[in-house]
Structure 1
Amino acid sequence: MKDLLGIIILLARIVPFSGLTSCPDAWTAFMGSCYLFGHDLMTFHEAAVLCKSYEANLIHIETSNENTFIEDQLKHLYRASSATAWWIGLTDENVEGLWKWHDTDTLATFTDWFPGEPSNGGNNEDCASIYVREGFHWNDVNCQLFKYYPICEIQDQNYNVEVVG
């Protein structure tokens, strides 16, 4: 017991608490964000409402590292449940071809579209998803026609990266 307490105290000194991400139960932490992978199929706008009910938003994937993390999580979910598509918070509903984050109306600076996407097939594909069939890359689809699983994100306001050296 004394050894365990000593290890905990040592870890507390080595790992600064300000650098940890604190997430609610059932949420997954990564680099200052908390993610909830939804279990129910819904339209894009239903997914946005669900996330808002958790005081969160549909996910903003802003870096290659974050994209790889999400892809790894989705591969695991696919193997465990056969889920094949998830909503992310990106849309061009307001201006065709101008992809912005739904909740902030800011332009996406990172994307991972499947080759040939976004295609706006049928002139009615305005919401972004991650799709298994396209190698876990992004695809634009009809916001109301399809029902996919939501990925919600909360930014941890207490998270900060401590640079050493």
Structure 2
Amino acid sequence: MATIDLTPLYRSTVGFDRLAPMLETALRNDHAAAYPPYDIEVIDENRYAITIAVAGFERSELDIQVEKGVLTIRGKKEAVKSDRRYLHQGIARRAFERKFNLADHVEVTDASLNNGLLAISLVREIPEAMKPKSIPISDNRTTLEHTADEDK
């Protein structure tokens, strides 16, 4: 596995130190990403949807949790004794755990199960304090000079 050097990124950014470990984890776990199949969709600028194919799972066998910016979806089938004999069994009924790292301010708003598809709605809600704001530039130079004089 190749190592990604993000040093140039760190020279001009602040607070992205989680990015390298997150990328390495994603690349390391990419081979396990085949089951169950899923889609990640951009609905609009601040809304997203994750759809996971969970055919054969009941609502009670699915668990969705968000903790520390990680969305985790788990599916666990109840053990059922069956006398069925399969010539071919292509429908996977195995337990799974799928994790998605969420960006800052992305929240899960809803989840629904319909026709074997688990749909999870997400929205990015940037707090007012984080939204861009204009800073007026004062013509008063004495304030800056006065502060600099006090520091001496």
Q: TM-score, normalised by structure 2?
A: 0.22
Higher helix share: 1
* Higher RCO (CA 8 Å, separation ≥ 6 residues): 1
Q: TM-score, normalised by structure 1?
A: 0.21
Higher strand share: 2
Larger Rg: 2
